[in-house]
């Protein structure tokens, strides 16, 4: 259950200190009045502490407000100050879906994004569902995880979990209005009912509207959001929490740069899609209005807590997410339109028990059924006509794909023995990949996906894939030892799971089917070459806390097998495909620290020195040629990162400068595309006119640095086909908020 705790002045002060030093410590750390160094708020929790000795960073309300920026919509943005973490986007407000995140060198393809521990979102499509004002805490697991954490289709990179802010006990209203550079504007309102005397019901209703122009090229981004939360006690033993959210997003995408354009970044800094039509059909596919996306999302999740006894609970957590989206993008000389209709339903049933001998037991079962994509079931091609409109040019993809099904029982046991905590568990993962059947598209008319089956399209025998189960056992174990009042030590191990990326494999085959068939290659043979990635993660940490000083050094090691990589095969005439043949080793050190100098100054920072390299050259399907990847750093993985800042408070004024340094990276696996390092400074300031009214000012990229932010490659792309995005220029925004 979620916290409905009202913040006090002391809690806010502690929050401001610790939320700006996220990740200081391990999950067993003590619970603080409103924000924890590494744990959840105590109110409403089945257990009042989290004794798992696996590393976790938690960002509380103050940190979400500071690091989430004026838009307060991006799930990723608050994590940019965490060690070993890079949040990349060309959008200064985080509204655009052109973005990615990298954790300890690994890309966001294998990040589990959960809400209240539930994998609410799908694999593709959709947008950020929740306003950060409705989030109590953001939890990030960079290393090992316990069996009951990180439920989802893929968690080899890490886990991000949002704990929602429950309806409050007292009636209240929160309103915000923000404006900023590039015609940014945002309005947010939340109304809490308080506890209703007649029924004991607590509820809240919120709504927001956000919009911004792109800072270069043409187009804009808009987002509308509404959320309802209800909390109800049923008798003495049952507590029900229900959240429902509606989110509508549409926005024009940013155009990427090539590596050649990077060599003169100043000249190409504002390179983007065309803002006018030229009459040349091949050029006009790059008109900005032909490169956009829109999504409409409905989601609901519930937590039904049945109290079996004072120390034993049974939890049922059903959830549902529906996404209806469409994306337009330039594809060669045509505009490709991709319809994305996701329909996901799932549930978690979990037992939680605490016993008098210091034992805690969690046992549960997670199930989810997911309607694709990926891979795409229906994509259509259009050419730009003389009037600037789109003329139908055929189907690019037509397929019937069954539902994906995920099934995962798990158990986690924790034992307290004096000053020692030992925790271990096991999760069984069963990923049911569906049957996929592709159809020949020549001559099919311009009708909807539902209507096309009335025209009896012909099954493509070379592009049929049988259903298959991918299964894995995922153990974990961790130990935490209290050494003294200031020192402790922790060590943990867990195996994590990365799903095979069947989508690009199928799409790549369909786009080049004639060439593959000429070489005697079927889609089934390519899909058989991908299997789940398994990542063995080890962490050792020795935190020190004494008074206002906190220092946390962490050593980590990861051995990754079955890494899926894209290779270009000379034996197949240069055709590319995906194979689960790579192995990598990642290791490094993270150093986090914070110093509280009374109520006026807080200083915080982190540093990461890390490496992840391929263990061997990468073999191709033909078995003869290899790609020279041995010993090379994986793409988009800087070896050095430094982050930090301080907060100064004087009466009702606060000032927080922030800095982050990201070392050089590569855009490809053979290290031919080197991208230089960068440093970016941000400035945040706020002034409280009263307890209820506050003004905040944010200046992002204070010194207007030109740099490459997002490298849109993944850690399994070996062919150097990488997209680069320039970081946003200086951006200024102001937010006024009032709370009653």
Residue 25 pLDDT grade (very low, low, confident, very high; cuts 50, 70, 90): very low
State the burial class of residue 718 (Cβ atoms within 10 Å of its Cβ: 0-12, 13-18, 19+).
Answer: buried
In the block, tokens 């694999």 appear at 123
Closest CA to 677 of 653, 699, 708: 708
381: enclosing H helix or E strand: strand 378-384
Radius of gyration of the chain (CA): 25
Give residue 18's pLDDT band: very low, low, confident or very high (50, 70, 90).
very low
- pLDDT of 232 higher than 50: yes
Residue whose tokens read 């495909």: 577
Give me the pLDDT at residue 621, please.
61
Residue 715: per-residue pLDDT: 54
Please enumerate, as own/partner, the contacts of 568-572 that have beta carbons within 8 Å and a separation of 24 or more. 568/620, 568/627, 568/718, 568/719, 569/620, 569/621, 569/622, 569/625, 570/620, 570/622, 570/625, 571/620, 571/621, 571/622, 571/624, 571/625, 572/515, 572/516, 572/519, 572/521, 572/621, 572/622
Q: How far apart are the first and last CA of the chain?
A: 25
The predicted model gives 665-674 an average pLDDT of 87
Give the largest CA-CA distance in the chain: 79
Q: pLDDT-based confidence at 122, cuts 50/70/90? A: low
pLDDT of residue 716: 54
Write the DSSP symbol of residue 43: T
> For residue 17, is pLDDT > 50?
no
Q: Which residue has the higher pLDDT, 349 or 343?
A: 349
Best CA proximity match to 339, nearest among 301, 387, 372: 372
Residues 6+ apart with CB under 8 A from 719: 566, 567, 568, 576, 668
Other Cβ atoms less than 10 A from the Cβ of 356: the count is 6
pLDDT value at position 31? 27
Q: Which of 176-190, 215-229, 248-262, 575-589 has the lowest mean pLDDT?
A: 575-589
CA distance 34 to 629: 48
pLDDT band (50, 70, 90) for residue 9: very low
Nearby residues of 699 by Cβ (< 8 Å), 6 or more positions away: 682, 683, 684, 730, 731, 732
| 431-457: b (≥16 Cβ within 10 Å) or e | bbbbebbbbbbeebeeeeeeebeeeeb
Rounded Cα distance between 495 and 409, Å, is: 15
Q: Say how far apart CA 389 and CA 379 lie, in whole Å.
A: 18
Q: Where are the alpha helices (DSSP H) in 279-420?
A: 281-284
Q: Tell me how many helices (H) and strands (E) the chain has.
A: 9, 39
Query: How confident is the model at residue 14, as a pLDDT?
Result: 29
CA distance 389 to 396: 19
- Which of 6-10, 75-79, 295-299, 463-467 is predicted with the least confidence, judged by mean pLDDT? 6-10
Q: 452 by DSSP, 3-state: which?
A: helix
pLDDT higher than 60, residue 13: no
HEC letters along 459-473:
EEEEEEECCEEEEEE
For 352-401, what is each residue's pLDDT tens digit?
Answer: 999 988 899 999 999 999 887 778 899 999 999 999 999 999 999 999 99
Q: Which of 24-28, 183-187, 390-394, 618-622 has the lowest mean pLDDT?
A: 24-28
Residue with tokens 């023995």: 417
If one compares 667 and 38, the residue with the highest pLDDT of the two is 667
The structural domains of the chain, ordered by start, are 9-739 (2.40.170.20)
pLDDT at 622: 57
- State the pLDDT at residue 620: 65
Label residue 556 exposed, middle or buried (CB < 10 Å: 0-12, 13-18, 19+): buried
Q: pLDDT tens digits for 134-152?
A: 999 999 999 889 999 989 9
In the prediction, which pLDDT does 300 show? 97
Share of the chain above pLDDT 70, in %: 90
Res. 7 pLDDT band, cuts 50 70 90: very low
Q: Is 289 helix (H, G, I), strand (E, B) or coil?
A: helix
pLDDT at 446: 94
Residue 16, pLDDT above cutoff 80: no
Which residues have C-beta within 8 Å of that of residue 379, sequence separation ≥ 6? 336, 337, 338, 339, 395, 396, 397
Cβ 226 vs Cβ 246: under 8 Å: yes
Work out the pLDDT band at 10, boundaries 50, 70, 90: very low
Of the pLDDT bands very low, low, confident and very high (cuts 50, 70, 90), residue 577 is confident
C-beta separation of 719 from 568 below 8 A: yes
Instruction: Examine the pLDDT at 27 and tell me if it is beyond 80.
Output: no
pLDDT over threshold 70, residue 28: no
Classify the phi-psi angles of 623: left when phi > 0, otherwise alpha if psi is within -120 to 50, otherwise beta. Answer: left
Res 444 pLDDT > 50: yes
| Structure confidence at residue 714 (pLDDT) | 56
Taking 70 as the threshold, does the pLDDT of residue 247 lie above it? yes
What's the pLDDT score for residue 483? 94
pLDDT of residue 568: 75
Residue 720 or 545, more confident: 545
- C-alpha distances (whole Å) from 585 to each of 100, 241, 612, 614, 662 are 22, 42, 5, 7, 21
Could you read off the pLDDT of 613-666 as tens digits, one per residue? 889 887 766 556 677 888 888 888 999 999 999 899 999 999 999 999 999 999
Please state the length of the chain. Answer: 740
pLDDT at residue 294, as a whole number:
94
Mean of the pLDDT values across residues 161-177? 96
What is the rounded (10 degree) CA torsion for 264, 265, 267, 273? 120
| pLDDT of amino acid 156 | 93
| pLDDT band at residue 33 using 50, 70 and 90 as cut-offs | very low
Q: Indicate the average pLDDT of the chain.
A: 87
Residue-wise DSSP of 482-543 = E-SSSBEEEEEEEEEEE---HHHHHHHHHHTHHHHHHTT--HHHHHTT---EEEEEEEEE--
Segment among 36-50, 338-352, 409-423, 643-657 with least mean pLDDT? 36-50
Task: Please say whether the dihedral angle defined by the alpha carbons of residues 708, 714, 719 and 723, taken in this order, is positive or negative.
Answer: negative
Picking from 340, 243, 245, 345, the residue whose alpha carbon sits closest to that of residue 295 is 340
Mean pLDDT of 308-329: 95
Quickly tell me which residue has 């099954």 as its tokens.
459
Let me know: does 382 contact 337? Beta carbons within 8 Å.
yes
pLDDT at 34: 29
Please compute the mean of the pLDDT values over residues 18-28 and round it to a whole number: 30
The yes-or-no verdict on residue 43 having pLDDT over 60 is no
Residue 30 has pLDDT above 70, yes or no: no
CB neighbours of 80 closer than 8 A, spacing ≥ 6?
67, 86, 87, 643, 660
Under the banding of pLDDT at 50, 70 and 90, the label for residue 52 is: low
């Amino acid at each position: 259950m979620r916290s409905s705790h009202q913040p006090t002045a002391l809690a806010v002060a502690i929050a401001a200190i610790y939320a700006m030093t996220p990740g200081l410590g391990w999950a067993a750390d003590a619970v603080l009045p409103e924000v924890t160094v590494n744990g959840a708020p105590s109110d409403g929790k089945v257990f009042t502490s989290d004794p798992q000795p696996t590393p976790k960073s938690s960002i509380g309300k103050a940190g979400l407000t500071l690091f989430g920026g004026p838009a307060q919509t991006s799930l990723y943005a608050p994590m940019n100050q965490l060690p070993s973490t890079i949040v990349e986007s060309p959008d200064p407000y985080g509204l655009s879906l052109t973005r990615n995140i990298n954790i300890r060198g690994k890309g966001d393809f294998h990040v589990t994004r959960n809400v209240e521990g539930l994998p609410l979102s799908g694999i593709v499509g959709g947008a950020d569902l929740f306003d950060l004002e409705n989030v109590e805490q953001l939890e990030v697991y960079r290393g090992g995880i316990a069996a009951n954490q990180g439920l989802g289709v893929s968690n080899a990179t890490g886990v991000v979990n949002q704990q929602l802010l429950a309806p409050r006990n007292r009636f209240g209203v929160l309103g915000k209005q923000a404006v900023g550079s590039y015609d940014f504007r945002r309005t947010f309102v939340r109304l809490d009912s308080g506890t209703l005397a007649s029924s004991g019901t607590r509820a809240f209703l919120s709504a927001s509207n956000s919009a911004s122009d792109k800072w270069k090229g043409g187009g804009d981004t808009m987002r509308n959001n509404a959320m309802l939360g209800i909390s109800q006690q049923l008798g003495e033993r049952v507590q029900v929490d229900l959240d429902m959210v509606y989110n509508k997003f549409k926005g024009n995408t940013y155009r990427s740069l090539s590596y050649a354009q990077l060599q003169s970044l100043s000249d190409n800094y504002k390179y983007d899609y065309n803002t006018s039509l030229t009459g040349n059909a091949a050029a006009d596919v790059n008109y900005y209005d032909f490169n956009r996306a829109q999504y409409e999302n409905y989601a609901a999740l519930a937590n039904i807590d049945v109290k079996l006894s004072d120390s034993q609970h049974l939890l049922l957590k059903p959830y549902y997410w529906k996404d209806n989206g469409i994306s337009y993008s330039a594809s060669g000389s045509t505009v490709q339109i991709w319809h994305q209709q996701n329909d996901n339903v799932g549930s978690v049933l979990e037992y939680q028990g605490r016993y008098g001998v210091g034992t805690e037991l969690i046992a549960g079962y997670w199930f989810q059924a997911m309607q694709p994509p990926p891979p795409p079931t229906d994509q259509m091609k259009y050419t730009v006509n003389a009037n600037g409109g789109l003329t139908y040019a055929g189907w690019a993809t037509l397929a019937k794909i069954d539902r994906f099904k995920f099934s995962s029982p798990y158990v986690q046991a924790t034992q307290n023995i004096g000053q020692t905590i030992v925790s271990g568990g096991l999760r069984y993962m069963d990923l049911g990949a569906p049957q996929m059947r592709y159809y020949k598209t020549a001559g099919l008319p311009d009708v909807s996906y539902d209507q096309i089956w009335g025209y009896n399209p012909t099954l493509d025998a070379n592009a049929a894939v049988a259903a298959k189960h991918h299964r894995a056992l995922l153990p974990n174990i961790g130990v935490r030892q209290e050494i003294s009042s200031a020192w402790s030590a922790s060590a943990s191990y867990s195996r994590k799971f990365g799903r095979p990326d069947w989508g690009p494999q199928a799409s790549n085959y369909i786009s080049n089917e004639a060439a593959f068939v000429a070489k005697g290659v079927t889609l089934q043979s390519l899909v058989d070459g991908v299997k789940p990635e398994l990542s063995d993660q080890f962490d050792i940490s020795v935190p020190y806390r004494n008074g206002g000083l906190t220092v946390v050094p962490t050593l980590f090691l990861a051995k990754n097998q079955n890494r899926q990589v894209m290779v270009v095969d000379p034996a197949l005439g240069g055709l590319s495909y995906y194979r689960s043949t790579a192995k990598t080793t990642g290791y490094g050190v993270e150093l986090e620290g914070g110093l509280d100098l009374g109520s006026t100054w807080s200083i915080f920072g982190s540093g990461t020195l890390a490496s992840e390299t391929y263990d061997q050259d990468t073999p191709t399907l033909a078995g003869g040629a290899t790609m020279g990847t041995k010993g090379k750093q994986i793409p988009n993985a800087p070896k050095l990162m430094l982050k930090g800042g301080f907060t100064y408070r004087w009466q009702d004024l606060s000032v927080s400068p922030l800095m982050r340094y990201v070392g050089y990276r590569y855009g490809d696996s053979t290290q031919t595309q080197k991208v230089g390092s960068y440093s970016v400074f941000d400035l945040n300031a706020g002034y409280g006119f009263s307890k209820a009214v506050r003004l905040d000012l944010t200046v992002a990229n204070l010194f207007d640095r030109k740099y490459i932010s997002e490298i849109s490659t993944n850690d399994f792309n070996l062919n150097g086909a990488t997209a680069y995005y320039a970081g946003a220029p200086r951006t200024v925004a102001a937010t006024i908020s009032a709370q009653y």
